[in-house]
């Protein structure tokens, strides 16, 4: 399985790299005057956000590999699902990024539909990606070689990605109702606080867990 794992990880890296190319500033257009250059630079904040989100999903898969090891057929299937989803998710992510760029002054075509429509599609993609990573970390619990430190950290990862999944679900629900669709982006703004609070309160020290296992 080791050879398959290396090739699959290489394929995963390539898929995420391709997704990032779709978020390149200016979409490949070279500015020919100052107005076009200024417009391209107005896309930087939106591109940075999109880059960070894609990189977050990719780096999480890298961390997951540390817990899971070489894995098995289930691990391969879940990774293929993640690859499939990121190549779809990048399209609504790009739509969100371009709309933000247009708001910041870039001369790009912003999304012409309602904000609820945009975040309904985006939210569906975010939920699917986050839920898949939650499933990957849950699958990693089957690795018999994990020590107490890894198992405790793995539990934290599962909870973090469950929070991300539920946040996306909340945004999706708000987006699907006309009376609340304008609030659909707001749940994502709570993530620094909810994730930060969990990381602050979660017991990452493996010693209590190890002692409990010894007593058992």
pLDDT (tens digit, 0 to 9) for every residue of the chain, 216 residues total? 566 778 889 999 999 999 988 776 545 566 666 776 776 676 777 788 888 999 999 999 999 998 988 888 899 999 999 999 999 999 888 888 777 766 655 555 556 777 888 899 999 999 999 999 999 999 999 998 888 888 899 999 999 999 999 999 999 999 998 778 889 989 999 999 999 999 998 987 654 444 444 433
pLDDT of residue 98: 75
DSSP letter for 144, please: T
Quickly count: other Cβ atoms within 10 Å of residue 211's Cβ: 11
Rg, the chain, Cα only: 20
Q: What is the pTM of this model?
A: 0.84
C-alpha span between 29 and 53 (Å, rounded): 23
pLDDT of residue 209: 43
C-alpha span between 120 and 114 (Å, rounded): 10
C-alpha span between 138 and 151 (Å, rounded): 11
| Residue 4 CB partners (closer than 8 Å, separation 6+) | 70, 76
pLDDT of residue 213: 43
Tokens 């898949």 belong to which residue? 132
Nearest Cα residue to 138 out of 146, 201, 80:
146
pLDDT of residue 1: 59
Contact between 169 and 129 under an 8 Å Cβ cutoff? The reply is no
């Amino acid at each position: 399985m080791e050879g398959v794992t290396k090739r699959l990880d290489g394929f995963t890296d390539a898929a995420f790299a391709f997704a990032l190319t779709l978020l390149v500033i200016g979409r490949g257009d070279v500015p020919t005057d100052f107005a076009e250059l200024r417009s391209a630079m107005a896309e930087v904040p939106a591109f940075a956000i999109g880059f960070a989100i894609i990189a977050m999903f990719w780096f999480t898969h890298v961390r997951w590999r540390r817990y899971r090891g070489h894995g098995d057929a289930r691990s391969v299937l879940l990774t293929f699902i993640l690859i499939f989803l990121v190549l779809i998710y990048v399209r609504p992510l790009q739509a969100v990024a371009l709309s933000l760029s247009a708001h910041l002054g870039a001369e790009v075509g912003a999304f012409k539909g309602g904000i609820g429509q945009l975040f309904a599609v985006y939210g569906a993609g975010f939920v699917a990606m986050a839920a898949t990573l939650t499933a990957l970390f849950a699958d990693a619990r089957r690795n018999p070689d994990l020590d107490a430190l890894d198992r405790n950290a793995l539990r934290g990862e599962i909870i973090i990605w469950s929070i991300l999944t539920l946040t996306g679900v909340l945004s999706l629900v708000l987006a699907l109702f006309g009376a609340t669709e304008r609030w659909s982006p707001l749940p994502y703004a709570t993530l620094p606080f909810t994730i930060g609070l969990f990381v602050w309160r979660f017991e990452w020290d493996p010693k209590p867990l190890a002692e409990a296992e010894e007593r058992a």
